[in-house]
Amino acid sequence: MSLWKKSVFPAAAQHQKLDGQTYNYGTAGFRTKANLLDSVMFRCGLIAVLRSKKTKSSIGVMITASHNPECDNGVKIVEPMGEMLIAEWEVYATQLANASNEELGGVIEGIIKDNNIDMTVSANVIIARDTRPSSPSLSASVIDAIKAFNAVYTDYGMLTTPQLHYLVRCVNTNGQYGEATEEGYYKKLSQAFTQLKIQTPGDNSYLPEICVDGANGVGALKVLQLQKELKGYLDMKVFNDGSTGKLNEQVKIFHNL
């Protein structure tokens, strides 16, 4: 028996796929009711490790359902330069998510063989999640899979999806793209904005103001932090900041931070 099977199989038994459920990885990753996602999260942790070994790079996993209702959740896998998971591996993710508990090992072996993955190569996964009540436990399912593969992970806690994409790229460029911290994200955005404002002809004493609907989610929290870096250049007033109200209630239009 392959060494990885000795640890992955017992861990997978704690996150068994629900009978009758079918999942499909698309542009938004996997997305459905949160109580149906435990096995999917575990298997996405496995996919992230395998992708990391294949690319010899850090891979991101974002637990979120974006603008969906609070009862939903989802997961997206982020490529080394911050891109979405490539189409060929979306197929693998779907196969793994839908494999029966008995088929799981065979599907993993198929991915390893198809991609000539050296299982001795180290793997690193970067994880983040949104503010949904279900996100911490689903994140823990991803981590269980990473540990089962004896891989390394960094859990950044609550972030927006673009922030995780940024961090993955920073890590894989050894900081050339930017500082691999949440603070580095705010600095990169704010410095770009302030330089644009300085270079724009006109009265630089004008203080722009915008209103931001935070939809009672993680974006509201992060806008408030970004505001500190933009003091004197942009005044952002945040509504639905999460202090009251339900996540994404009656949301119609959304923009990611």
- Per the annotation, the verdict on 66 as an active-site residue is yes
Q: Which of 58, 66, 141, 190 is catalytic?
A: 66
- Other C-beta atoms closer than 10 Å to the C-beta of 56 total 13
Query: Is 153 within 8 Å of 88 (Cβ atoms)?
Result: no
Q: Describe the crossing of helices 3-12 and 38-55 by its angle, rounded to 10 degrees.
A: 160
Helix then strand then coil, in percent of the chain rounded to 5, is 45, 15, 40
Q: What one-character-per-residue DSSP string does 35-102 give?
A: GG-HHHHHHHHHHHHHHHHHHTSEEEEEE--TTS-TTEEEEEEE-TTSPBPPHHHHHHHHHHHHS-TT
Query: Is 77 within 8 Å of 127 (Cβ atoms)?
Result: no
Q: Nearest to residue 76, comparing CAs of 110, 126, 119?
A: 126
Indicate if the alpha-carbon torsion angle 53, 148, 141, 115 is positive or negative.
Answer: positive
Between CA 100 and CA 24 the distance in angstroms is: 15
Between CA 143 and CA 206 the distance in angstroms is: 48
Query: Is 74 within 8 Å of 63 (Cβ atoms)?
Result: yes
Residues known to be catalytic: 66
